């Protein structure tokens, strides 16, 4: 497993890769960082997917919406994988509530009800932060809750995306 440290304006980010896809992306000190990855399996290294991820992060933190996504690889329970795939559908600069995601998951699985708390648990275990945008999920009352990378980072990420969205609207008008 290759790892690379990326220095962002919000702190160090660890990128993990199997050489073909991104398998993890965590802010330094993030809850569950490198969860399930044996430390002996890690080696610093470079690969095309790590370079592509660095380029994605460069664009993102420069306030540009990346127009590509590095290949992602994650393995978890079917429920967690469904929730993470739903996160990938949240457009840049937009948010969804835990309840909205729970309702969509219930529809896709054919279940009557899925608890927003269960959704929150799955989101909290997201191994590929930013690329799987768990920071775009908010509480029903609009408050920012439950970000493993820290609420301050969640706030900064949403602000960055909102600024980009506003700039994009101005560009479209002009």
* Residues known to be catalytic: 134
Please give the full DSSP string across 89-117, using - where no structure is assigned: TSPTT--EEHHHHHHHHHHHHT-S---HH
- C-beta of residue 126 within 8 angstroms of C-beta of residue 35: no
The closest alpha carbon to 26, from 59, 85, 79, 74, belongs to 74
CA distances from 75 to 31, 49, 90, 168 (A): 18, 18, 20, 35
Helix (H/G/I), strand (E/B), else coil: 5: strand
Secondary structure element (H or E) that encloses residue 141, with its range: none
CA 99 – CA 120 distance, rounded (Å): 9
In residues, how long is the chain? 174
């Amino acid at each position: 497993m290759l790892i690379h440290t990326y220095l962002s304006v919000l702190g160090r980010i660890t990128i993990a890769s199997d050489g073909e896809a991104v398998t993890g992306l965590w802010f330094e000190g993030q809850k569950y960082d490198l969860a399930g990855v044996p430390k002996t399996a890690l080696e610093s290294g470079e690969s095309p997917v790590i370079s592509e991820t660095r380029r994605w992060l460069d664009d993102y933190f420069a306030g540009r919406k990346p127009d590509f996504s590095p290949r992602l690889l994650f393995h978890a329970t079917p429920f967690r994988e469904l929730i993470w795939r739903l996160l990938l559908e949240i457009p840049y600069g937009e948010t969804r509530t835990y309840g909205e995601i729970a309702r969509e998951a219930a529809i896709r699985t054919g279940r009557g009800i899925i608890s927003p708390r269960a959704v929150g648990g799955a989101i909290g275990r997201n191994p590929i932060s930013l690329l799987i945008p768990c920071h775009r999920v908010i509480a029903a009352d609009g408050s920012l809750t439950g970000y493993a990378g820290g609420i301050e980072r969640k706030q900064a990420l949403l602000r960055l995306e909102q600024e980009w969205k506003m700039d994009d609207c101005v560009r479209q008008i002009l």
